[in-house]
Chains A and B, each alone.
Chain A
Amino acid sequence: MKTETSAVPAATAFEPRITAFVCNWCTYAGADLAGTSRLQYAPNMRIIKLPCTGRIDPLFVLKAFEDGADAVLVSGCHPGDCHYTSGNYHARRRWTLFRKLLALTGIGDDRLFFSWVSAAEGQKFADLVNDVTAKVRQAGPFRAANPGRRA
């Protein structure tokens, strides 16, 4: 076994907690591919798998923020590739409006991310997680700025 030599982050260092809502058929499979391909990526993402992006109620996003997520990622099949034909098209309409509503209440592009990742895009998934984690790390902890934080 290799001995851990890298410096352990100080207890006070900020580690973003990011909730990812992904669909079963594309992005989850893409994340699986990233894993089986032994790609290294930031360990900050907590993945919640759902059957389809069409199943992702905007309420889930609010719940994640309420329960302490620093950011939320929503990801599914590319347009035209939905396992259920049109779930991602339905979802896309919702997100288009929902993100504007959240932006008005102070939850912007640095907290809420959307992507298409297919089952073949393991590398894209790894890069995406690294990129989102870096952005959230820069944005800092969300709790104090969250308009819907727990009292």
Chain B
Amino acid sequence: MMKALREAAAKLLQEKRAVLVIGYADRKGRPAVFVSKPEDCGRLVYDSSCRQNLAAYLGKPELRARLPVAVVAPPAVLRSLVVLTAESQIPAGQVLALAVDHDAFLGVFDAAGAAELLRSKFPDLGPEKALLERVAELSKKSAAERAAFWAEEFAKCTRCYACRAACPGCYCSRCIVEKNAPQWVSTAALGHGNYTWNVMRAFHQSGRCTLCGACEAACPQGLPLMVLNAVLDREALAEFDARPGYDPEGKPVIGSWSAEDDHSYMR
């Protein structure tokens, strides 16, 4: 599998279909590696310890100056590439996916091909069972207990914004948390700013999150960020049939509407 991945990457570079391959490095922690020479493709690996979502680099201006690129992409990252395409964040034909899954190399795909692959081979990617159990467990608690739980969790946040940096969906050049005239979100690592930041970060991913888990993996304080993402994913699916990352021409959930949307909670 590793051999097939490396050969395919080297071929893309040789044929100039990509000037850069973003992959996982054969080092502890599986950090990102940027390969631009075919002979360096031996540095690429993929296994279950690869937690980063490499599509996050596609929003960087430095990288946008070096297109076309290829990205090593397990299924969740493939979804991110499709979401970014749907949101017009990827110039057409400039990003290729080196699709991988567990111990298989699946081939080279553009966004449309990646969506096709996802629909045929991974039609039901959603929150993992363990994650849904975490949501269910928290939902069973009273409102006061839930508030106390999050107050305690968010108190650990140091506002390093690693969650934001790790997320391909967080590509705004100017984030709400950096707006300071007026300042909407306090940047002090205290209760109120931490709550607002973490809730708004999750909310801005509603209907767009591909549940790759990169934010939670990147959090140095171990905040259960995926619980927030999972509840939004569940509701967006239930209410609006949102399946982000399966249609490169799909409309975003927030930003489109239907007259038939439920509003039974409205008085």
**Cβ contact within 8 Å between B259 and A97:** no
Taking CB as reference atom, which chain A residue is nearest B257? A89
Contacts of A92 in B (CB 8 A): 257, 261, 263, 266
Taking CB as reference atom, which chain B residue is nearest A124? B267
Contacts of A104 in B (CB 8 A): 135, 138-139, 146, 227-228, 231
**Cβ contact within 8 Å between A59 and B196:** yes
Q: Which of B199, B256, B258 contacts A101 (CB 8 A)?
A: B199
Query: What's the interface size class on B, roughly?
Result: 35 or more
Contacts of A106 in B (CB 8 A): 143-150
Main secondary structure of the interface of B (DSSP, over half): helix
**Cβ contact within 8 Å between A79 and B191:** no
Within 8 A of A (CB), among B231-267: 231-232, 235-236, 239-240, 253-259, 261-263, 265-267
Give the docked Cα–Cα distance between A96 and B150 (Å).
21
A-B contact count (CB 8 A): 136
Nearest-Cβ distance from residue B172 to partner chain A, whole angstroms: 14
Taking CB as reference atom, which chain A residue is nearest B145? A106
Query: What's the interface size class on A, roughly?
Result: 35 or more
Q: Does B192 contact A (CB under 8 A)?
A: yes
Within 8 A of B (CB), among A69-117: 79-80, 86, 89-90, 92-110, 113-116
Nearest-Cβ distance from residue B132 to partner chain A, whole angstroms: 13
Q: Give residues in B with beta carbon < 8 Å to A.
A: 135, 138-139, 143-151, 154, 176, 184-185, 190-192, 194-196, 199-200, 202-203, 206-207, 227-228, 231-232, 235-236, 239-240, 253-259, 261-263, 265-267
Q: Give residues in A with beta carbon < 8 Å to B.
A: 58-59, 62-63, 66, 79-80, 86, 89-90, 92-110, 113-116, 128, 145-151
